[in-house]
Amino acid sequence: MSDPIGQLVKGVVDGSHSDEEVVEWLHGIFENGLDGESTIRLTEAMRDSGEVLDWPSEWAHLVVDKHSTGGVGDKVSIPLAPALAACGAKVPMISGRGLGHTGGTLDKLESIRGFKVDLTSAELRTQVEQIGVAMVGQTDSLVPADKRMYALRDVTGTVASIPLITSSIVSKKSAEGLAALVLDVKHGRAAFMVERAQAEALARSMSEAANGMGVATSVVLTTMDQPLGCAVGNALEIVESVETLCGRGPHDLEELVCVQGGLLLVSAGLACDLAEGALKIHDSLNDGSAFEKFLQMVQAQGGDPSDFESDHSMLKSLGLLDKELLSTELFAESAGSVSDIDAMTIAQACLELGSGRQSLGQEIDRGVGVILEAQVGDSVDEGDPLLVIYHRGELPAGMSQSLTDAFTLSEGEVELQSRITDIIR
């Protein structure tokens, strides 16, 4: 007897099912859900709707990747992938473009002059084999079922379904031929899943599906109330990623890179436990090996590694020394300790400046964004700098005050909290 889920996915790809039939089915899942076994079958059918990458048996167990549900200033992938490669893992990282406040990983990488994200499967395989890492966009041959299903979900209000989110994400990651995967599932006011309970439900669904398909998967639950790191904006986030690759990154970003990387090294057999794995990633950020892998990747994908020889050449190549790019610094209106920074206010300002897109295909401005000069836990006096806005032309009315008000100042010391609220293995 044929599998009805497999038959429906086949009909999605070959066009034998009409949009109306597919939407009816999607609505059924949206309203009634799917059990765990059916979610795995759906995810497998979507993965198998197109090409599935395979790797040489002698190092297939080293092939790893990560996925994040996204957030404000979330640039973890960019330092993490080269760091993993420096530690002996193989990372065929297939990423996307962002809708919303800033671009996705591909948009950030395209801030690098000449960087090419459109590689064929053969080019991807060769690069991963030779240098251990590639960061590219999804090809049409990978998971074609998801492209049509997501487009229909987007216009019919059926995006926010845990089984459908699970099958969309995990099918694309498993099509990379992974041995191990780490998922960064965020919760908080600037996260896709605001409530922790929602995030945990999604995390467990994705973990069960991926593990059920033979991909060793861990989940890190992390908060997304304040921006991650200090930079929000595409080119600005590349600068901060390079700083992190050179051991000079902000503590919260480095923590996520080391923990997520450590989990993957354990899964790939490259570390005995999380402590050893996290230390290996940390060492790669401080001994130059992760940065060297990044430079090799830049060169392999059409960029010029010499653009990163000095801070000046990097800023110039990323367009951050463009004379048309203006900067405005904002200052504290009173003294106190920074106890909160509203990530959504930062995100909306960056979107208004042009750092993100509100529709597919919309052009974005990779140079604009903000740099936080004070972070949670810092003490500031009246008149101390809070952030710098990079913009073109006059700032929108009210933006300066809105961004100043995004900082909450309190009396006394503020205890720093880890962004990690749980690790599910």
Residue with tokens 């190092």: 59
**Cα 225 to chain centroid, rounded:** 16
Beta bridge partners of 336: 380
Q: Quick one: which of 256, 247, 227, 246 has its CA closest to 308?
A: 246
Residue type, 72: V
Residues 6+ apart with CB under 8 A from 225: 188, 189, 190, 340, 342, 343
Longest dimension (CA), the chain: 73
Report d(CA 73, CA 237) in Å as an integer.
7
Report d(CA 349, CA 405) in Å as an integer.
12
Residue 167: its H or E element: helix 162-174
Report d(CA 278, CA 263) in Å as an integer.
8
Helix pair angle (4-14, 36-47), 10° resolution = 30
- Token output for 205: 């669904």
Report d(CA 409, CA 152) in Å as an integer.
44
What are the phi and psi torsion angles at 156 (to 5°)? -120, 10
Report d(CA 141, CA 169) in Å as an integer.
16
Give me the active site residues, please: 65-68, 105, 153, 168, 172-173
Given a contact cutoff of 8 angstroms between Cβ atoms, the answer to whether 183 and 195 are in contact is no
